Amino acid sequence: MTSRHVPSPSRRTVVRAAAATAAAVPVLAASATATASASSETPAPAPAFLHGVASGDPLPDGVLLWTRVTPEPGAEPGSGRGADTPVRWEIAEDREFTAIAASGTTYASAASDHTVKADVRGLRPATSYYFRFTASGESGEGGGTTGVRSPVGRTSTAPATGANVAGVRFGVVSCANWEAGWFSAYRHLAARGDLDAVLHLGDYLYEYAAGGYPTQGAALREHRPAHEILDLADYRLRHGTYKTDSDLQALHAAHPVIAIWDDHEFANDAWSGGAQNHTPGAEGVWERRVAAAKQAYFEWMPVRASTEGTVYRRLRFGKLADLHLLDLRTFRSEQASVGSGSVDDPERTITGRAQLDWLKAGLAGSDAVWKLVGTSVMISPVAFGALPAHLLKPLAGLLGLPKEGLAVNVDQWDGYTDDRRELIAHLRERGISDTVFLTGDIHMAWANEVPVRAATYPLSPPAATEFVVTSVTSDNLDDILKVAPQTVSLVAAAAVRTANRHVKWVDMDSHGYGVLDVTAERSQMDYYVLSDRKAKDATSSWARSYRTLRGTQRVDRADRPVR
């Protein structure tokens, strides 16, 4: 953003991955040595920062800082072990911390799994900052203390609410399965020096037992705990396991992350009263499992917890963009039965009444140029027409029959057509333009125009646009069928586009991430793909770019990524 106060070099400079990774290591991974001496000859082990540092939910005057302290050896996540540990946090505009902008002290305790959050306010808008933590621990019978410093993180605040901002740029990711591959997408995003934040659109982790997804024998590295996660200790350990990944730590240390959850933070195909991957009785009470999952999520993620136990919220980036973030698991009705027409039932909801009203009011009241909506599942309708059965089966496990056509995935908005109809009608009736839905979940990349009526599109105009990013590692069509890229995807993609003329592009082959660049004139998603999700040193390359110009609601292909 042109209004951001930025230390040299400019944050708007794109840094090539290899060079930037090497340059970033001293800043983002360095840790200071313990500073205080012990008075005992047999000092107790000092605390440690084994899970990195993170920041999130940037505001014009603040940002949320996060870390986790391991107070003693063996005090792993979920264990409940370890004493309360004093932790000092500091944030500064320079990496040497010569000019501290804010600081404070808190405690890492077993009650919060020794995680620490600091919701820092009083900062300058559109400014880059560096932050760190220092944990104090008892060093022995003499009563001395040690001070152990965390790695240093880099973050930034949002522009002032009324600021005229030239541009904002977000990394966009979804669906990272620990067992399916390495998190190289995170490493490549961490290496970029031009991002204002990273949007994580759900499935930050997966709940399955080791070897459960992907199938037994295909796991690159095993989940901890090895069993399906069910209680608070399980969810804490799973979060902690993911945050030992060096590429994930690098991402959190490099950029503020703005996250929402999808189903796998709880259990597959979760809804308000249960989930496909939850067996009442054998796996306990669903409400207790959800409460445990949410508690661990808010402990371990740089996300502001709400009093309602939800993640729907709104962030603003000057006059350029409002970002509306949705929770599509807490309030939703159960998914439609196979082959039923209940997807059209107006009593069924994906958002819940209060959240849908909140979203509608926010969109109607926004004076921002762009209305960005973070949704964990796809809102564009998808009918698969005459797609061969051997391709249809891996693409959709459940079928429903909405008015718009044959729904393939009733876990998406296709399974809750009345909420979608109401939202799209609201956009049209209130003249709300330049709405862009940002989506994950489906393990494929899409560029869509969101039609008012899919059956008559393109005779009927679109109401919005949608950019969907593929998975970081989770199985796509090729992985499920165990075939080489484009072996079957070209046929499937052609069939999808034939039956859905509002779909401008779909990539069923790749793993990777997106970079969304927003200016007053257009919003553009650049799609990047990884060379091999199972290669720890996987390279990244630009695949395609699609954009929507202001005032059009149309999607066009761009011939190059934004630089």
pLDDT at 10: 34
Q: Which helix (H) or strand (E) holds 503?
A: strand 503-507
Task: Walk along the chain (563 residues) and give the pLDDT tens digit of each residue.
Answer: 544 444 433 333 332 333 333 333 333 333 333 333 333 445 567 899 999 999 999 999 999 999 999 999 999 999 999 999 999 999 999 999 999 999 999 999 999 999 999 999 999 999 999 999 999 865 434 334 469 999 999 999 999 999 999 999 999 999 999 999 999 999 999 999 999 999 999 999 999 999 988 765 678 999 999 999 999 999 999 999 999 999 999 999 999 999 999 999 999 999 999 999 999 999 999 999 999 999 999 999 999 987 788 999 999 999 999 999 999 999 999 998 756 668 889 999 999 999 999 999 999 999 999 999 999 999 999 876 555 555 555 554 323 333 344 445 789 999 899 999 999 999 999 999 999 999 999 999 999 999 998 888 888 889 999 999 999 999 887 777 777 777 767 877 888 888 889 999 999 999 999 999 999 999 999 999 999 999 999 999 999 999 999 999 999 999 999 98
Closest CA to 398 of 453, 348, 335, 319: 335
Q: Name the residue type at position 163.
A: A
pLDDT at 386: 54
Domains and CATH numbers, the chain: 31-156 (2.60.40.380), 168-327+440-558 (3.60.21.70)
Question: Any alpha helices (H) in 432-488, and if so which ranges?
Answer: 477-481
Q: How many residues does the chain have?
A: 563
Distance CA 397, CA 335 (A): 12
Distance CA 165, CA 369 (A): 10
Q: Please, are residues 125 and 163 in contact by the beta-carbon 8 Å criterion?
A: yes
- Quick one: DSSP state of residue 70? B
Distance CA 320, CA 165 (A): 6
Strand 197-200 and strand 257-259: pairing? parallel
pLDDT at 144: 42
* Residues forming a β-bridge with 483: none
With residues binned 3-state (H G I as helix, E B as strand, rest as coil), the percentages for the chain, rounded to 5, are 20, 25, 55
CB count in 10 Å sphere of residue 283: 16
Q: Name the residue type at position 428.
A: R
* Residues forming a β-bridge with 55: 65
Measuring CA to CA, how many Å separate 105 from each of 116, 154, 169? 10, 19, 32
Give me the sign of the Cα torsion angle 441, 442, 444, 446.
negative
Location of structure tokens 């503020």: 256
Q: What tokens does 184 get?
A: 């190289």
Question: Could you write out the DSSP letters of every residue in 324-340?
Answer: EE---SSSPPPPPPTT-
